[in-house]
Amino acid sequence: MRNNKDKNMNKKIVLTTIALVALLSASTALAQSATGTKSRQSGQERKEVAKERVADKKTELEARKNALTAEVSAKRMELINKFADRMVKVHQAAINRLDKLADRIESRIDKFEDERDVNLDEAQADLLVARGKISTAQTYLNTVPGMVTTATATGTPQVAFQTVKGYFNTSRENIKMAHSSLVDVISSIKVGLGMATSTATTTP
């Protein structure tokens, strides 16, 4: 009877031991699985953090680059404005010389008509045309500073510089046309004084 009880007890102990081993094995496996999962999650988090740091660094570098570009652009625009200021002074001086020359020519015309009793109406008419062109040159030059300000306020320095150069090319042409008209007045005076023949052709 005792042997049966011992056998049953041993059997229970064995079964209990087996169950305990199985439970421990399961616990160990579960712990290892949890550790592996945690390790994988930790690795993924590190990757995400690294990506964020790279993105932040890239953004910072881009911001610095944009700031530097803006600073360089502003300095170039300032140089363009200084160039424009100098050119306005140069062109204004040229127009002032043309004005003075027109006054001298007009004085000579009046003097020749009084002293030599000649008709210089054609020269007077040409002088009016020349004064009109001088006025046109002056009016255009007066608008240049405002246009330069607009050109350098937007866009790139390269585009702004080409635009500003275009303004002064136009102004230069206006001054050349005014000067050429004054040369025509002098030619008309010479014709009126009999010092030269007219280049105008007549229709037979």
Question: Which of the four pLDDT bands, split at 50, 70 and 90, describes residue 18?
Answer: low
Q: Which residues, other chains included, contact 178 with Cβ-Cβ below 8 Å and sequence gap of 6+?
A: 95, 98, 130, 133, 134, 136, 137
- Range in 2-6, 80-84, 185-189, 195-199 with the lowest mean pLDDT: 2-6
Task: Say if 28 falls within a structural domain.
Answer: no
Task: Say if 169 falls within a structural domain.
Answer: yes
pLDDT > 90: what percent of the chain?
54
Domain that holds residue 187: 76-192
DSSP element (H, E) containing 98: helix 2-116
- Range in 46-55, 95-104, 144-153 with the lowest mean pLDDT: 46-55
Total domains in the fold of the chain: 1
pLDDT computed for residue 160 by the predictor? 94
Task: Say if 182 falls within a structural domain.
Answer: yes
Instruction: State both tokens at 161.
Output: 């510089």
Task: Say if 34 falls within a structural domain.
Answer: no
Query: CA-based diameter of the chain, in Å?
Result: 170
Task: Say if 61 falls within a structural domain.
Answer: no
Task: Say if 42 falls within a structural domain.
Answer: no
Rounded to two decimals, what is the model's pTM? 0.65
pLDDT computed for residue 68 by the predictor? 47
Per-residue pLDDT tens for 48-69? 766 666 655 555 545 554 554 5
pLDDT computed for residue 203 by the predictor? 31
Task: Say if 88 falls within a structural domain.
Answer: yes
- Taking 50 as the threshold, does the pLDDT of residue 204 lie above it? no
Task: Say if 26 falls within a structural domain.
Answer: no
Amino acid letter, 11: K
